[in-house]
Amino acid sequence: MAVGSFNTRADRAVTLARMFLLVTGGTGYVGSHAVAALTEAGHRVRILARSPDGVSGALAPLGVSGIETSIGDVTDPTAVEGALEGCDGVLHAASVFSMDPRRADEMRAVNVLGTDTVIGAAYRLGLDPIVHVSSELALLPPVRGQVLTPDSPVKQSTWPYSRSKADSELVARRYQDAGAPVVSVMPAAVWGPYDPHFGEGVTLATNVLKRRVPFVPPGGMHIADVRDVAAALVAVIEAGRGQRRFLVGGQYISMPDLVRTLAELSGRRIPCVTVPSWFLAAFGRAADIVQRHVRTQLPWTGEGIWVLNCAARCDDTKARAELAVEPRPLRETFADTISWLEEVGHVSRHANRASANSNVKSPNESRPTTLNASAARRPLMDRRSR
């Protein structure tokens, strides 16, 4: 399957009209894959970026070039309205994705106020659809035994990133209640190849592969492939459908199983001990205190451990049925993630890798062979995709 292509059922009966779309966060992880999928589907795309410098580096590895770019920031109303001029719809993917509590103010400014700025301007200008890339984390923590659905109530976490995504989802729902054609798409944790900012998912994969995670909690998370998230975002690009919400949950995996699967696929021996959730929660809070005084990004954060301890289960039946998007196997996502990390030099290829992957579907043969390794090696703290 080509990079950016859909993982949808072939018998889908609806042919979607081509549109002119603004994409915010188009140089980020989800945003760049969405741009690739949108252009492959025949849509015209303009992106809003703070600088033209990172556009090619983010999109070239996905086979995308020549994208129209408007320079500006999602927190600047004038820049946003100018970028929206002439567009039919908007895909708002800009977000600060970090579980570093030191960036709480930046998360609120971009994730909450930026969302209000973009959706508000698009509504005033009459754009349809207005697609908001939200997050499953907006619905955490679940009530004991609760399975999350797109219509689950938004919760008010005390953790900075989860709280910012909850507050941004509340902004989207407020505009939905006002009649705006807002479509909220809530992915679970996103993994897969080609992350231009080397974000939380591939950082965790790298840390596991380098044996930097000697212990894990028994909990886990839903993981969605970034290419499947992009396919879902393309599938909701329809005018006249009104307010909608979707979860893109992928599949659930516990942390012990995640470590075992990465070890098997990479051909590595990765020793790891499962410890009680309360112990790791205390460890995470201690790590946050240490993180305030060191520049090196630590492998654990209090918020990241909290998410894993929630061990939330998601029901994305609605997205699978209405958008005809089927999640690819997690083993394929993990195998492609490992291959990309090896190709850009973040992890070394293990001698047992070939035999370990004998039963795994090979990564895309049609994807570019020349990768933007310098973009992939940007500092871990530079994860502001807008």
CA distances from 351 to 8, 210, 265, 348 (A): 35, 15, 12, 9
Better pLDDT: 193 or 379: 193
The class that CATH gives domain 20-361+376-385 is alpha beta
Rounded mean pLDDT, 160-179: 97
Share of the chain above pLDDT 70, in %: 87
Place 378 in a pLDDT band, splitting at 50, 70 and 90: very low
Residue 27 near residue 385, CB atoms below 8 Å: yes
CA distance 45 to 329: 29
> Which residue has 């850009």 as its token pair?
344
Average pLDDT over the chain reads 88
Q: Which helix (H) or strand (E) holds 184?
A: strand 182-187
* pLDDT higher than threshold 70 for residue 364: no
CA 217 to chain CA centroid, nearest Å = 22
pLDDT at 195 over 70: yes
Cα torsion 15, 34, 70, 93 to 10°: value is: 110
Residues 35 and 13: their CA atoms lie apart, in Å, by 23
pLDDT band at residue 353, thresholds of 50, 70 and 90? low
Helix intervals (H) in the chain: 29-40, 55-59, 77-84, 104-107, 114-124, 160-177, 200-209, 226-235, 255-266, 277-291, 302-310, 317-323, 330-343, 353-356, 373-376
Separation between Cα atoms, residue 305 and residue 278, nearest integer Å: 10
Residues 6+ apart with CB under 8 A from 104: 160, 164
Task: Kindly state the tokens that stand for 378.
Answer: 């940007």
Higher pLDDT, 189 or 360: 189
| Pairing state between β 384-385 and 95-96 | antiparallel
> Cα–Cα distances in Å, from 190 out to 5, 29, 213, 317?
17, 9, 19, 18
- Give the pair of three-digit tokens for residue 292: 């305030």
Percent of the chain with pLDDT over 90: 77
Q: How many CB atoms sit inside 10 A of residue 358's CB? A: 6
pLDDT of 356 > 80? The answer is no
Which pLDDT tens digit goes with each residue over 5-56? 445 543 343 456 899 999 999 999 999 999 999 999 999 999 999 999 889 9
**Local confidence band at 377 (pLDDT 50, 70, 90 cut-offs):** very low
Is the Cβ–Cβ distance between 150 and 245 less than 8 Å?
yes
Residue 381: pLDDT band with limits 50, 70, 90: very low
In the predicted model, is pLDDT for residue 121 greater than 90?
Answer: yes
CA angle 126, 127, 133 (to 5 degrees): 135
CB of 33 closer than 8 Å to CB of 93: no
Residue 174: band (very low, low, confident or very high) from pLDDT cuts 50, 70, 90 = very high
| Domain positions in the chain | 20-361+376-385
Both tokens of residue 199? 């974000």
| pLDDT at 12 (0 to 100) | 41
The arithmetic mean of pLDDT across residues 222-247, rounded, is: 98
Tokens of 185: 């798409």
Q: What is the 3-state secondary structure (H, E, C) of 32-67?
A: HHHHHHHHHCCCEEEEEECCHHHHHHHHHHHCCCCC
* pTM for this entry: 0.87
pLDDT of residue 16: 63
Say if residue 194's pLDDT is above 70: yes
The token pair at 198 is 């080397």
Give helix then strand counts, H and E, for the chain: 15, 16
Residue 302, pLDDT score: 92
Whether 75 shows a pLDDT value over 80: the answer reads yes
